[in-house]
Amino acid sequence: MTSVHAPLDQPAVIAVAGLTKTYTFHQQGAGLAGALRSLVRRTYETRLAVERIDFTIGRGEVVGLLGPNGAGKTTTLKMLSGLLYPTSGEVEVLGHTPSKRKPDYLRRIALVMGQKTMLWWDVPAMESLLLHKDMYDLTTAEFDRNVAELADLLEVRDLLNVQVRKVSLGERMKLELMAALVHRPEVLFLDEPTIGLDVVAKARVRAFLAEVTRRHDTTILVTSHDMDDIEALCSRVMVIDHGRLQYDGSLSGLVRSARPRKLVQATYARTVDGSRLAGVEGVVVSNHSSDQIIRLEVERERTGDVLEQLARLGPLVDLDVADADIEDIMRDLFLRRDALGTGEAR
Ligand SMILES: Nc1ncnc2c1ncn2[C@@H]1O[C@H](COP(=O)(O)OP(=O)(O)OP(=O)(O)O)[C@@H](O)[C@H]1O
C-alpha cells in the first residue's frame, strides 16, 4: 500500500491507533405514552460509529476525510478535537490527548463545523473576535496582526462591524473561518466548510484555506461531500465507510484503483465507418456517426497505443483524454463497498 504518512524524520502532528467510538443511546417510543414507557423501562442500543482506525498526519498536510453519510467522519473529527471521548484506542494531536481539553491544546487547534456557528448573531463579528482574543490570551499586537491578515485574505474588512444576522451565508462562513483562525491554530479540523455556499463563495473559501496552509504550514483535516473541495485542497485522502478506514493515499491513487480506465474522446472531420472500430482497443461508450465523435474507455497503460489507432481512422479534429469524474468514482465506490480490497487500498 502506498500511503502518505508523515515522514519518519518528522514527528506526526496527529497520530491515531485503534481509534474506536461506540455510541450508546436509548430508544424512545413516539408520543407521551412512549416517553412514559421509556421512564419505566429503558431500552438501550449501541452503534459502532468508528472502528479501529489508524493513521498519522504530518505538519502542513491537508488531508481529506471522505465517506458516505453516517460513515463516521464527524465522529472522528470530534474525537480528534476533544469533543468526544473515544471508546477505545489512542489519539494524540500535537503531543496532547484531545479529550483532556487542556487550554494549551485548545489554543493550538480549531474546529469549524459548516452547519454550526461560533459567532453571536446579534452583535458584529468583531465582538466575537474580541472574545476569542481573551479566550486565547492573545496580545493586542498579535490580535491586530491576525485580524488584519485574515480580513485581507477573506475580503471581509467591511463586514467586521455589521451585525452577523445581517450578512449573507457566504459572508458568515468567511467570518466563521476568521473567528476559528484568529488565534492562528496549528491544526484545523473542518467539517463541511463549504456546505450551502454558492460556487463563487466555495472557490473563495478554498483559495483562502490553501493560502493559510501555504503561509503558516497549518495542518488540515477536512471532510466534504463536495469533491471540488477535496481536489482543490488535499494532497491525500482517507476514505472511511461504516466506521472503517478503507483507503489512505493520494487522490490520484484512489482514482486509479477505483477506475483503472481513461476516457478518450476522438472527434473527426468526417464520419468514421463503424466497422473500422473493430481494430481499436477499448470499450466503445458511444459512437455518434452523425457528429463524428467516438468515446472509448481504455486501459490506462494502453492509452498511447489507442490514440495511435484512433488517429489512423481518419482526420482528427480533436482528441481528449480524461480520468473518470471523481464524483462518479465516489458514487461507485460506496455502491461497491468492497471494491477497495486491493492495490493501494486498505
Ligand atoms: N450522538 C449520537 N448518538 C448515537 N449515534 C450517533 C450519534 N452521532 C452519530 N451517530 C451515529 O454514528 C454514525 C456515524 O455518524 P457521523 O456523524 O460520524 O457520520 P458522518 O460520516 O459524519 O456522516 P455525514 O456525512 O452524514 O455527516 C452514524 O450511524 C450516526 O447515526
pLDDT in tens, 308-317: 888 888 889 9
Structure ipTM: 0.97
Contact (Cβ atoms closer than 8 angstroms) between residue 240 and residue 53: yes
| Angstrom distance (rounded) from CA 244 to CA 63 | 17
The whole-number pLDDT of residue 287 equals 62
- In sequence order, the 6+-apart residues with CB closer than 8 A to the CB of 342 are 257
Which has more pLDDT, 279 or 6?
279
Of the chain, the end-to-end C-alpha distance in Å amounts to 7
Is the pLDDT assigned to residue 289 strictly greater than 70?
no
* Spacing, Cα 195 to ligand 1 middle (Å): 17
Q: What is the mean pLDDT of the chain?
A: 86
Give the three-class secondary structure for 338.
coil
Domain boundaries, given as residue ranges, for the chain? 14-255, 260-323
Q: Is 74 in the pocket of ligand 1 (CB under 6 A)?
A: yes
CA distance 45 to 27: 7
- Whether the CB-CB separation of 284 and 294 falls below 8 Å is answered with yes
Which residue, 188, 189, 182, 190, is CA-closest to 136? Answer: 182
Q: How far apart are CA 196 and CA 192, in angstroms?
A: 9
Split at pLDDT 50, 70, 90, the class of 3 is very low
Q: Is 50 helix (H, G, I), strand (E, B) or coil?
A: strand
Rounded CA-CA distance 237/229 in Å is: 12
Pairing verdict, β 219-223 and 187-191: parallel
Which pLDDT band holds residue 19 (cuts at 50, 70, 90)? very high
- Does 72 sit in the ligand 1 pocket, CB within 6 Å? yes
What digits encode the pLDDT tens for the residues 151-188? 988 889 999 999 999 999 888 989 999 999 999 999 99
Query: Quick one: residue 262, left, alpha or beta (phi over 0 = left, psi -120 to 50 = alpha)?
Result: beta
- Of the residues 73, 79, 83, 242, which should be mutated to test ligand 1's pocket, given the most ligand atoms within 8 Å of the CB? 73
Q: Which long-range contacts (CB under 8 A, 24 or more apart) does 168-174 make?
A: 169/196, 169/197, 169/201, 170/197, 170/198, 170/200, 170/201, 170/204, 172/117, 172/119, 173/114, 173/197, 173/201, 173/205, 174/201, 174/204, 174/205, 174/208
Q: What is the CATH number of domain 260-323?
A: 3.30.2130.10
Distances (CA, A) of 191 to 65, 111, 119: 9, 8, 16
User: Which CATH fold would you assign to the domain 14-255?
Assistant: Rossmann fold (3.40.50)
- Amino acid at residue number 104: D
Interval between CA 63 and ligand 1 midpoint (Å): 20
Instruction: Give yes or no for a contact between 280 and 259, defined as CB atoms under 8 angstroms apart.
Output: no
Cβ 151 vs Cβ 141: under 8 Å? no
Query: pLDDT tens digits for 313-346?
Result: 888 999 898 877 777 777 777 766 544 443 344 4
| Residue 76 alpha carbon, nearest atom of ligand 1 | 18
Nearest CA to ligand 1 atom 5: 23
> Going by C-beta distance under 8 Å and a sequence separation of 6 or more, which residues neighbour residue 268?
292, 293, 294, 313, 314, 315, 316, 317
* Residue 224 Cβ contacting ligand 1 at under 6 Å: no
Question: Ligand 1 mean position to 320 CA, how many Å?
Answer: 41
Structural element, H or E, at residue 320:
strand 316-323
Burial of 288 (0-12, 13-18, 19+ CB in 10 A): exposed
